[in-house]
Amino acid sequence: MSHAIEGADARSAPVRASATGPLAHLAQWVMLTSGWRRLLIAVLAGAAGALAMPPFGALPALVLSLSVAVWLIDGAATGRRGNRGAVLACALIGWAWGFGYLTAGLWWLGSAFLVEADEFLWALPLGVIGLPAVLALFYAAGFALARLLWSRGPARLAAFALGLSACEWLRGHLFTGFPWNTLGMALGQNLWLMQSASVIGLYGLTLLAVLIASAPATLATGETVRGRYAPALAACLALAALALFGTVRLPASPSATVAGVRLRLVQPNLNQDAKFRPENRADIIDRYIELSDRAAAPNRTGIADVTHVIWPESAFPFLIQRDPASLARIAAAFPAGRQLITGAARAEEPLPNERPRFFNSILTISAGPKLGDLYDKVHLVPFGEYLPGPLDAVLRAVGVRQFVSIPGGFTPGARSGQRLLDVPGLPPVAATICYEAIFPGEILPTRAPGGPPPVPGLILNLTNDAWFGDTPGPRQHFAQARLRAVEEGLPLVRDANTGISAVVDPYGRITASLPVGVEGILDADLPVRLPGRTLYAGLGDWPFAGMFAGLGLMALLAKRRGT
C-alpha cells in the first residue's frame, strides 16, 4: 500500500500494515477488502464481540472484534472517493458491525415471541433482526464520527473510542434508551475490574474498554516500533491499573449486615403459560405461600424465621388489590411483624370520560391485610408494556398489542414521584422493576429542589425474566443490575420469577443466589450500604464527560498534525 492515495485525506489515509508476520498479513487483507466482503467481515467481527458480554466474558473476543473494526476503518480511509465517501463507507461498516454485535448478543429476545406464538410469532423477525438493524444506526454514527477524527498513528484509537463511547451513551438515552450490553460490560462483569464503575460509571468503563480492546490493532499497522507496541503496552498497563484499583478497593472481610433484618426471596419459577391465568389464582397464591413458609432447614419454621418476604415482578395474573379473598389468604399466612414485598399490577379508578390506568408496581403488604407504601414503574418497556404514543392508535387498529395483556398498556409512574419506598424494618429502598435496573444514573430518586440528596439503604429489583427462558438474557440482566450496586455503593436485592435471584453487597460481591430455572427460596441478611456516596453517585456521568473531552482533544490535535 502506498503512502499517498489519490483523493484521500493525506493526514488520515496512509495507514498500512507495515509490520511483518501473519497478523500484519491479516490486517492488510482486511484493509484491502471492499464491497460485500468488507461488510461481511464487519458483521462477523461484531458478532465475535458479543462473546465478551455476559455470560461468556471472553475479553479477547472484543480485542479481535475491535481490532478488525480499526483495520476496516483504516481501509475505508484510503478510498478514492474523498473524505465524504470515506465517512459514508465507515458509517456503513459501523452499521454492519453493530448489526452483527447486537444480533449475536440479543438473539434471545426471540424467546418472548414464542410464549404466545399464536399471536406474536409473526413479529419474531422484527425483534431478532429488526431491532438490531435499527439500533445499529447508532454504531453507524459512531464509526462515522471516528472517521472524521481519524489520523495516521496510534491517536486514531482515541478517535475510535470517542465515536463508540458516544454512540453507546446515545443508545442508552435517546428514544427512551436501551443500554443493554453496552461495551463497558466487558469490564463491568469482573469483580476487580468493575470497581472503577464507582468512579466513572458504565460509560467510563465503555470508553476504557474500547481503548484497551482496540489497542492491539497497532501491532500490525504501526509505522515504527514504538507505534506498534506502545498502545498494546499501554492497554496492558491500563487493565492492570483497573485490576489494582479493584484489589485495593475490595475489603478482605465480608460486608457487615443490617441488624434485625432477615430476607426471604421467593423464586417460584412460574412459566408464562396457560397455568398463569386469572382462573388459577388460588393455585398461584397457594404456591407462593407454600414457598414463603417452606422450612429452609430442620430447625427452621418458614416465615416466622424472617422479617421480610419478597415475591417477584408481576406475581399475579390478576389485580391483587381488588381481590379481598386472595389478600385475606396472604394476610393469614403472615404473622404480625412480617412484611411482604411483591410485584403486582394495580389499577386506579378513572376520572369521568377516561379509561382506567394500570401500573406495574411494587406493593407492600402486612398482616391485616394492610397495604403500605408502593412504587409504580417509571421506565416502561416499549412494545412490551406499552405501545409508543404515535404508533399506539395505528397498531391497535390493525390488532397489534403489547406483550403484557393490559387494556391500553401500562401507564408510567410519575417521574417526579420516583422516590424511596418506605418498608417497615428496612432502610429506605431505591425501588426498580425489571429493566429499570440497567440504566446507570437512574437508580436513585430525583433530588427535591433545595433538599438533601436521597439516602437509600439498598436497591430492590423485582423482575420477571420468564419470557426469555434459560438463555443469556437473564444472565445479562443480572450482570447489569449487579453493576448498579458498585456504581451507587448500595447492596442489591434482586428477586426474579425464574432467576437469577440474588443478594449482592455494595462491592458487587454475590452473597447469596439462585440460578436460572430453579424453584426455591433464598434466605439472606441485608448487607450495609457504603458510608457516604461513591464518586459516581455524586457526579453521575461527569467523570466520563471529562474523559470524553480529553480524548476528543487528543484526536483533534493528532488529526491537525497528521500523525
Catalytic residue set: 313, 377, 434
Cis peptide before 390 (omega within 30 of 0): no
Helix (H) or strand (E) holding 101: helix 82-106
484 touches 453 (CB < 8 A): no
Place of cell 416499549: 382
List the one residue out of 524, 450, 448, 435 whose CA is nearest residue 480: 435
List the one residue out of 68, 45, 55, 66 whose CA is nearest residue 185: 55
* Cα–Cα distance measured from residue 290 to residue 189, given in angstroms and rounded to the nearest whole number: 35
List the one residue out of 364, 361, 392 whose CA is nearest residue 378: 361
* Cα–Cα distance measured from residue 363 to residue 175, given in angstroms and rounded to the nearest whole number: 29
Burial class (CB in 10 A: 0-12, 13-18, 19+), 38: buried
Q: In the beta sheet, which residues pair with residue 514?
A: 501
C-alpha cell at 288: 407462593
511 touches 258 (CB < 8 A): no
DSSP 18: -
The residues, any chain, with a CB within 8 Å of residue 72's CB and separated by 6 or more, are 30, 31, 33, 38, 41, 42, 45, 90, 93, 97
Residue 48: strand, helix, or coil: helix
Strand positions, DSSP E, 295-380: 308-310, 339-348, 357-366, 370-376
- 3-state helix vs strand vs coil in the chain, percent to 5: 50, 15, 35
Helix (H) or strand (E) holding 231: helix 225-249
Handedness of CA 59, 64, 65, 70 (dihedral sign): positive
Handedness of CA 230, 235, 238, 243 (dihedral sign): negative
CA separation (Å) from 242 to 236, 427, 463?
10, 32, 31
Query: What is the maximum span of the chain, computed from C-alpha positions, in angstroms?
Result: 82
* Cα–Cα distance measured from residue 380 to residue 234, given in angstroms and rounded to the nearest whole number: 41
* Cα–Cα distance measured from residue 446 to residue 425, given in angstroms and rounded to the nearest whole number: 23
Identity of the residue numbered 560: R
